[in-house]
Amino acid sequence: MNQNNRFGSLIPGIFLGSVLLLASCSTNHWPQFRGSENNMVTANTNLPDDWGMGKNIRWTFDLSGTGWSSPVVWGNKVFIASAFAEKKSPVKPEEPESDEPEKEDTSYLSDIYRWEVTCIDLKTGKKLWEQVARKGSPRVGAESGNTYASETPVTDGKRIYVYFGMTGVYCYDFDGKLIWQKDLGAYPTLNNWGTGSSPVLYKDLLFIQIDNEKSSFLIALSTANGEEKWRADRQEKTNYSTPVIWKNKTRDELVTAGKTARSYDPATGKILWQLNMGGEMSISSPVADQEHLYIGIGGGRDAKGNLFAVKAGAEGDITPAEGQRISKGVAWSQPKAEVGSTSPLLLNGLIYFLGGRGGKMACWDAATGDSVYRSKADSMASCWASPWANNDKLFITDEKGTTHIFKAGKKFEVLSRNKLDDKFWSSVAITEDAYILKGEKSLYCIGK
């Protein structure tokens, strides 16, 4: 998910459940945003540490549509979601400042788009099939920096599930045949920023978090036919964080972020615990291990952000009392974590926040919440893609196409940088021997 000061980050995080326990980053299965374990961590000596235009690039696939959604991979198939503008209203000139209320821009209602799902051969970069999910006018607006395909698809190895925000949900088999589709309604988002939270799979259920300015809810659909299994109303406004399935030492939980973080029983939608996080808007997705879930919210002018470590087995309202930083369900909280748009990395007992504006870098002790270091990466542009780790190295690609590589550990150290001539907001997909990076112009397969 991605954000500047004007709109919500749109890279959303998805997490698969028990149907994907066999999938890992050491195979050709990267079934969701941030990988099957939702942590962006791998240990693979087959992956390159350096690349660039003309170096360690196996193939590229030209992109004519738009979409900040990330690619997903199953076996030798790569799936991407895109929106193509067939007719676009001209950009309106900026109007002089006035005391009059600003009028809502509804020019998008006269635009014509087509929403497409594309399957690409991992080995060759050739298109295997392409399907048009819908063609017509957008039902809600999207800020000019956003796209109408910012949600990452998810797959269970049999079907590919694609959520195009307020446009609808579409399920295809691996040959491109439409199995079912579902209209979940269209609701306004804050300042017409658009949508970005991605779908989540667990067993035979597909979960979608639809936070907006009118009627927010969390819904569970049957993966077989799209039938609604349960729905939970949410007292939230526009958020962009993707839910995760937290498989901890006690149970499996469906966790959503927002001004209030909530954990649900995936089977029934019953709330297990809730945590008032304060803050302004949830954009990044949580990260977890068996013992704790680390979840945060960004701050703003009128509200401070915060990062919390939630204990496995928490029950009820676990919000710390006023002036306190722990509770029966919260091991620690850290109001100075500066949670932003990129999702955190958890590696060897350390939590890393990488990127954001100005190349800010921060590392926190996962056991205590204490600060390990704060530093700044020189020459780093704004970052919206989620960072990843491989073999004790941290990688983050900024929006100008430079991937910055850092040494993992308690000392801040820049190792090297790689450059691609493209714009990047989408997050990487990782196979057994290649990175799949999706830019604005091209899809790149990077391998030795």
Contact 86, 132 (CB under 8 A): no
**Interacting residues of 189 by C-beta distance below 8 A, sequence separation 6+:** 8, 140, 141, 195, 212, 213, 238
Residue 42, pLDDT > 60, answer yes
Best CA proximity match to 399, nearest among 369, 439, 362, 367: 439
Q: Which residue has the higher pLDDT, 376 or 316?
A: 316
Rounded CA gap, 284 and 269, in Å?
22
Question: What is the per-residue pLDDT for 16?
Answer: 36
Cα gap 265→269, rounded to integer Å? 5
Single-letter code of the amino acid located at 169: V
More confident residue, 354 or 311: 311
- Most distant CA atoms of the chain, gap in Å: 60
The answer to whether 165 and 150 have CB atoms below 8 angstroms apart is yes
Per-residue model confidence (pLDDT) at position 355: 62
Residue 86 has pLDDT above 90, yes or no: yes
Comparing 100-104, 119-123, 269-273, 374-378, the range with the smallest average pLDDT is 100-104
Confidence class for position 411, pLDDT limits 50, 70, 90: very high
Residues 6 or more apart in contact with residue 246 via CB below 8 angstroms? 15, 252, 253, 254, 255, 263, 286, 288, 293
Residue 92: the pLDDT is 65
Pair 317, 273: CB distance under 8 Å: yes
pLDDT of residue 15: 35
Residues 67-76 pLDDT 10s: 999 999 999 9
Strand bridging mode 360-365 / 371-376: antiparallel
Grouping H, G, I as helix, E, B as strand and the rest as coil, residue 205 is strand
Give CA–CA dist 332/13, Å, rounded.
Answer: 23
Contact 436, 443 (CB under 8 A): yes
**The residue to which tokens 């099939």 are assigned:** 129
Mean pLDDT for the stretch of residues 33-45: 91
pLDDT digits (tens, 9 = 90+) for 124-175: 999 999 999 999 999 999 988 899 999 999 999 999 999 999 999 999 999 9
Of residues 279 and 31, more confidence is placed in 31
Looking at this protein, which amino acid is placed at residue 203?
K
Based on the number of CB atoms within 10 Å of its own CB, is 2 exposed (0-12), middle (13-18) or buried (19 or more)? buried
Residues 255-277 have a mean pLDDT of 97
Quote the radius of gyration of the chain (alpha carbons, Å).
Answer: 20
The pLDDT value recorded for residue 20 is: 38
Give the 3-state secondary structure of residue 116: strand
Q: What is the pLDDT of residues 175-195, one digit of tens each?
A: 999 999 999 999 999 999 999
Complete domains list, the chain, with CATH: 18-90+112-446 (2.130.10.10)
Euclidean distance between the first and the last CA atom of the chain, given in angstroms as a whole number: 29
Instruction: Kindly report the backbone phi and psi dihedral angles of residue 176, in degrees, each rounded to the nearest multiple of 5, phi listed first.
Output: 90, 10
What secondary structure letter does DSSP report for 422?
S
Residue 24, pLDDT score? 42
Distance CA 275, CA 209 (A): 17
pLDDT of 41 over the 50 cut: yes
**Whole-angstrom distance, CA of residue 409 vs CA of residue 87:** 50
The overall average pLDDT reported for the chain is 91
Question: How confident is the model at residue 101, as a pLDDT?
Answer: 64
161: DSSP letter: E
Average pLDDT over residues 296-304: 79
At 384, the pLDDT band (50, 70, 90 cuts) reads very high
Structure tokens at 208: 């979608």
Stretch 109-127: mean pLDDT, rounded? 97
